[in-house]
Structure 1
Amino acid sequence: MTDSLTAFAAEKLDQLESRSLRRALVPTDRIDGLWVERGGRRLLSFSCNDYLNLSHHPAVKAAAMAAVERYGAGAGASRLVTGDHPVFGELEARLAALKGKQAACVFGSGYLANAGIIPTVMGPGDLILADELAHACIWSGAQLSGATVLAFRHNDMADLAQKLAARRGAAARCLIATDGVFSMDGDLAPLDAISDLARAHDAWLLVDDAHGLGVLGQGGAGAGSVYPGAHID
């Protein structure tokens, strides 16, 4: 007798298969940031976010090996439990300097950053407006917050302005969330125009700059530095 969970899983997989949406992991050896080996073939990769090939830079690899030798292969628990490691403090200070900000906070991944930050500042009774093409982690964090969540059309300032005018007054706090660089299309959010709307409606602006940091702006400061007049909270 098949249990209900197994039956459910099989049905869901069949539905994905019927729509050509079922995905499977393919063993792939990353030779460096550009080239991979798959099924005995050497292929040029256009799907990796390692834009600057830093993951294979000799200095980066040497520093990572030296850190493992000195500190081991993990903290063992959160910083609040085991203590704040000086390496994290140094990294955050350098990141804050790069962004021209007072402080920084490092998360385990960009996904965890949005899933952690958004529910910290937003909650029930608040309003979150997110670009319809914003990364899934923004939507995850927004849903976790318990706030009202609305999409505005991609980079459409008229649609964002209309939604702010219609819904901002009923919300205690308002957050506008967008990617800085949209990874699938490569376009930039008009952060200056979004910032102007946010300031006009007493809303906060959150920018996920995963694909801009280190790549755009003076010294790799990111998408925000392309729009120096924008106020990014």
Structure 2
Amino acid sequence: MARPRKPLLSHDRIVAAASALVDAEGLAAVSTRRLAAELGVSGPSLYNHFRTKDEILEAVADATSAQVDLSMFEAGDARGWRTALHDWAVAYRAVLTRHPNIVPVLAQGPGRRPAGLRLADAVFGAMVAAGWPPAQATRIGALMRYFVMGSALGSFARGFVDDETAYDPADYPHLGQAHLLAERQEEIDEGAFDTGLRALLDGLQAQYDALPRRTAAHGSAPAEG
């Protein structure tokens, strides 16, 4: 029997095509008709794998979450909680900055998405294991998610136009150099993220140091981050 001229339609192939479309044109570009055309199949054939467009976008979001490195939270990793949070936040943001258009879907929460749930589970579990009370570990996970996703939603530097006449000093006396920000976008945005992350972790460290010292489940004091 002759081999098919095109690869057979599969869950992963649909997700890959949808991911590329979201990256290139945004969420609004995704439709079952457009995906079918991109894949060279009939529209109804997609319904053997996904019932709706929303299900496809959920799968794209989960495939994005699956790219985030979680090795720093694995048992046996020598990094303390603070270093683990730092390294995870940097890795998480790197993934989101490569795929910024899917962030609004990710921001809705993991729901039932397996990779998203593994991510949340890893962060929460690592914080509790380090000695954080469960309620505070939950808040830390939420806080980190707000911070990382917020940083990936847009560029501060690109929010200013590169026209030096745009910001009249009579109206904006402190924005005389704002038109230069766009050309230094990466430096400014990366620096802002690093500054915010360090400040956030410094604040958490102060809270951690103020926690009542108690014996952890493995029989020793909570590890210092």
Bigger strand share: 1
* TM-score (ref. length: structure 1): 0.22
* TM-score (ref. length: structure 2): 0.22
Bigger helix share: 2
